[in-house]
């Protein structure tokens, strides 16, 4: 099959029988649901841009497995150039959607599992790598969107998976059969799960031998019996349900979505199992996935940051403050922070290395430095954007008041900024900034910058491990002429 168009992707989702709940109700038609549709539009953009000749080099790649042209979100990275193009693609999509486009976790998961299954087979004599290659070929051939599922609810963080009071707080194998396994548990914060064809499940922590039942990796279709998706709540999400919702939504077309995904005795056939009890390799796949995904933030968050910086600059113009020196300086600082994030994403890509399996992995130290900066800089960028926008960003009346004949003229008169700019254009930019800083898009930008791809402490632990402090001390001894 050739690359799907955006419309073909949407129609392919209509064929799925997903079990989705949101706001206390079962959602039978997620495709046309006003809250969920913007998130689907973001994923659709990854298909639409792959059809545009101008973006072909970034959005598509040549399959390592078949030699066919594929969407880059299904690519097994074959060089540092591939890694760099991944980051550039993510920045482009952030610019085009100003939201989370939801396919990065799946892309990062397939690359982590590809190399891990190879090394597991080499040591354990298993057949996971062949299983996984067949799965990836299937996904490429059908141009599928894959949800990567790693984060378990975790329960008591002070206890290992097998020591939890409720054993299901980490996803586990509850039955081993001749033809496969049955799993039970849940995965939290699942970005784009309701817009995906497959869910690729990974362990979430390093494990000990007693955690054998939890060392499981597999993929199944998202409409497999026993899978339930409970959509997460976002700030301002029900604005999309308001009559003729437009201005108050901010980013009307695009968005992101997360869910708690429950696996209630889900059967996984043998050919879809990629790890099954080999606890010593659970930590490897976690570390590799985390590295890839921390690289990803040097692209996607930067693209959304580009939109926010542009919105802040427009707000300054519309307020009549663009020439003020402090405004110029704040915009410069926002650009400096944003490009620093991008530099980290490019650096960890350019310093990548080939794995034993043949695909390329980023430099783990620099990827963790990238994500550590992501936990900080977007917060400063949003602070400066809110500063430039002014208080009206959060005190602006409802769109309905702009339509009400009793208040419309008063709002048009008293909320006007620069005379040449229509009042409603000023309001649109302020709503966009609100959406990016505080609303539904904040989940894919500000707040996710803190918690996505692991907590800040997780990156600091990896920086400590990868930073080679002993070598640095030896360098200092040499310069200081201290005998070793």
243-270 pLDDT, tens per residue?
Answer: 999 999 999 999 999 999 999 999 999 9
Give tens-digit pLDDT for 422-437: 999 999 999 999 999 9
Q: Is 60's pLDDT higher than 90?
A: yes
Terminal CA-CA length for the chain: 63
Which of 202, 177, 207, 173 shows the shortest CA–CA distance to 187?
Answer: 202
pLDDT score recorded for residue 484: 77
DSSP 2: P
User: What confidence score (pLDDT) does residue 1 get?
Assistant: 65
Which residue, 454, 47, 144, 475, is CA-closest to 291? 454
Residue tagged active-site, from 47, 222, 293, 399: 293
Each residue of 340-373: b (16+ CB within 10 Å) or e? ebbebbbbbbeebeebebebbbbbbbbbbbbbbb
Q: What is the pTM of this model?
A: 0.97
The predicted-structure confidence for 20-42, as pLDDT tens digits, reads as follows: 999 999 999 999 999 999 999 99
The pLDDT, as a whole number, for residue 447 is 85
Contacts of 128 (CB under 8 A, 6+ apart): 117, 120, 121, 217, 273, 274, 275, 276
Mean pLDDT value across residues 443-452 = 88
pLDDT at 11 over 70: yes
In CATH terms, 6-279 corresponds, of 2.40.110.10, 3.30.300.340, 1.25.40.10, 1.10.760.10, to 2.40.110.10
- Say what the pLDDT of residue 2 is: 79
Active site residue 344: no
**Residue 258 annotated to the active site:** yes
Query: What's the mean pLDDT when you consider all of the chain?
Result: 97
Looking at the predicted structure, is the pLDDT value of residue 303 above 90? yes
The owner of tokens 């939290």 is 188
Alpha carbon distance 326, 332 (integer Å): 10
Active-site residue identified among 300, 344, 348, 370: 300
Give, for 186, the enclosing helix (H) or strand (E).
Answer: strand 180-187
Mean pLDDT of the 397-413 span? 97
Active site residue 194: no
Instruction: Give me the catalytic one of 97, 116, 191, 440.
Output: 191
In the sheet with 227-231, reading across from the earlier edge strand, the strands are: 25-27, 20-22, 227-231, 259-269, 180-187, 172-177
pLDDT (tens digit, 9 = 90+) per residue, 85-141?
999 999 999 999 999 999 999 999 999 999 999 999 999 999 999 999 999 999 999
CA distances from 333 to 91, 212, 330 (A): 19, 49, 5
Q: Provide the pLDDT confidence category of residue 443 given band limits of 50, 70 and 90.
A: confident
Q: In sequence order, what are the beta bridge partners of 276? A: 216
CB 262 within 8 A of CB 309: no
Residues of the chain with CATH 2.40.110.10: 6-279
Residue 191 annotated among the catalytic residues of the structure? yes
Catalytic annotation on 448?
A: yes
Q: Does domain 285-472 have CATH number 2.170.120.12?
A: no
Residue from 104, 194, 370, 437 carrying the catalytic annotation: 104
- State how far the Cα of 274 lies from the Cα of 59, in Å rounded to an integer: 27
Task: Point out the catalytic residue in the list 170, 297, 318, 360.
Answer: 297
462 neighbors 371 (Cβ within 8 angstroms): no
Contact present, 236 and 421 (Cβ < 8 Å):
no
Give the per-residue pLDDT at 307.
Answer: 98
Q: pLDDT-based confidence at 198, cuts 50/70/90? A: very high
Contact 325, 341 (CB under 8 A): no
Work out the angle between the directed axes of helices 282-319 and 377-389 (0-180°, nearest 10). 20
**Which is higher by pLDDT, 315 or 442?**
315
Residue 370 has pLDDT above 80, yes or no: yes
The single residue of 80, 100, 116, 198 carrying the catalytic annotation is 100
Tokens of 25: 């109700």
Q: Which of 258, 278, 399, 434 is catalytic?
A: 258
Q: What is the pLDDT of residue 160?
A: 96
Compute the distance between CA of residue 484 and CA of residue 480 in angstroms, rounded to an integer.
11
Q: What is the pLDDT of residue 351?
A: 98
The whole-angstrom separation of Cα 316 and Cα 219 is 48
What are the start and end residues of each CATH 1.20.140.10 domain in the chain? 285-472
Question: What is the rounded distance in angstroms from the CA atom of residue 231 to the CA atom of residue 255?
Answer: 14
Active site residue 386: no
Distance of alpha carbon 105 from alpha carbon 448, whole angstroms: 13
pLDDT-derived band at 199 (thresholds 50, 70, 90) equals very high
Catalytic, 236? Answer no
CB contact at 8 A, 432 and 253: no
All residues at 6 or more sequence positions from 196 whose CB lies less than 8 Å from its CB, including other chains = 102, 106, 144, 145, 146, 147, 222
Q: How far is the C-alpha of 464 from the C-alpha of 466, rounded, in Å?
A: 6
Task: Report the pLDDT averaged over residues 3-25.
Answer: 98
- pLDDT, mean of residues 154-167: 97
């Amino acid at each position: 099959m050739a690359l799907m168009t955006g419309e073909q992707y949407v129609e392919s989702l209509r064929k799925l029988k997903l079990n989705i709940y949101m706001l206390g109700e079962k959602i039978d038609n997620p495709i046309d649901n006003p809250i969920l549709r913007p998130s689907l539009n973001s994923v659709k953009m990854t298909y639409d841009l792959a059809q545009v000749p101008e973006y072909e080099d970034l959005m598509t790649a040549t399959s390592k497995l078949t030699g066919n042209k594929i969407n880059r979100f299904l690519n097994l990275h074959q060089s540092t150039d591939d890694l760099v193009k991944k980051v550039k693609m993510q920045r482009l999509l952030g610019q085009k959607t100003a939201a989370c486009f939801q396919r990065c976790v799946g892309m990062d998961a397939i690359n982590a599992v590809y190399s891990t299954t190879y090394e597991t087979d080499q040591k354990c004599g298993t057949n996971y790598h062949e299983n996984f290659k067949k799965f990836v070929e299937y996904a490429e051939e059908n141009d599928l969107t894959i949800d990567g599922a790693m984060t378990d609810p975790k329960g008591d963080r002070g206890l290992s998976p097998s020591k939890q009071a409720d054993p299901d707080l980490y996803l586990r194998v509850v039955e081993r059969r001749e033809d496969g396994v049955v799993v039970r548990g849940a995965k939290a914060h699942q970005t784009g799960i309701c817009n995906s064809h497959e869910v690729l499940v990974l362990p979430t922590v390093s494990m000990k031998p007693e955690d054998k039942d939890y060392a499981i990796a597999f993929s199944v279709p998202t409409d497999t019996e026993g899978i339930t998706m409970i959509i997460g709540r976002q700030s301002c999400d029900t604005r999309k349900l308001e009559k003729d919702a437009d201005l108050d939504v901010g980013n009307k077309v695009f968005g992101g979505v997360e869910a708690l995904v429950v696996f209630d005795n889900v059967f996984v056939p043998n050919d879809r199992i990629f790890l099954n009890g080999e606890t010593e390799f659970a930590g490897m796949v976690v570390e590799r996935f985390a590295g890839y995904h921390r690289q990803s933030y040097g692209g996607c968050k930067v693209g959304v940051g580009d939109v926010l910086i542009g919105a802040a600059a427009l707000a300054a113009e519309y307020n009549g403050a663009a020439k003020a020196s402090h405004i110029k300086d704040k915009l410069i600082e926002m650009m400096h922070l944003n490009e620093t994030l991008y530099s980290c994403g490019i650096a960890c890509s350019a310093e990548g290395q080939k794995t034993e399996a043949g695909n390329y992995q980023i430099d783990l130290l620099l990827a963790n430095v990238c994500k550590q900066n992501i936990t900080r800089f977007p917060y400063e960028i949003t602070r400066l954007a809110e500063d430039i926008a002014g208080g009206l960003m959060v005190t602006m009346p409802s769109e309905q008041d702009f339509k009400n004949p009793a208040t419309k003229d008063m709002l048009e008169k008293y909320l006007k900024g620069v005379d040449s700019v229509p009042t409603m254009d000023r309001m649109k930019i302020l709503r966009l900034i609100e959406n990016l800083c505080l609303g539904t898009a904040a989940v894919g930008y500000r707040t996710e910058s803190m918690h996505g791809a692991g907590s800040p402490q997780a990156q600091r632990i990896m920086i400590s491990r990868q930073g080679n402090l002993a070598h640095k001390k030896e360098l200092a001894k040499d310069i200081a002429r201290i005998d070793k």
